[in-house]
Amino acid sequence: MPDLKRVSAKPINPRKPMKKIAFLLAAMSLSWAALAQHSSKEVQEDIARHRAMAEAHEAAAKCLELGKKPAQCTKELQAACKGLALGKYCGMKHAH
């Protein structure tokens, strides 16, 4: 039967692997935060895009208030939002 005693004379420090993992996680989170930064120009473009989407949604609400069919208002919303947002509801879908 093999001897199960530890062969290494140097004991393993249980905190050392945890320090490495903590350092790695901290470094990754900082690098992700740096990548998430937007330039001033990108922020201004986002603001303009949000305002354009808001205007398109306001027009869709007015369309519905006028008594037009929802399908017609959705079609107009899609045309107004082309290139602005994802999906056929201009970046916004709600429950009925």
pLDDT in tens, the chain (96 residues): 555 565 555 666 666 666 777 776 776 666 555 556 778 898 899 899 989 999 999 999 999 999 999 999 999 999 998 888 877 778 776 655
pTM of the model as a whole = 0.57
Query: Phi and psi of 86, rounded to 5°?
Result: -90, 150
Please check whether residue 21 lies inside any domain of the structure.
no
Nearest to 53 by CA among 93, 9, 13: 93
Please check whether residue 1 lies inside any domain of the structure.
no
Please check whether residue 83 lies inside any domain of the structure.
yes
Please check whether residue 64 lies inside any domain of the structure.
yes
Report d(CA 34, CA 29) in Å as an integer. Answer: 9
Report d(CA 6, CA 8) in Å as an integer. Answer: 6
Report d(CA 84, CA 11) in Å as an integer. Answer: 60
The total domain count for the chain is: 1
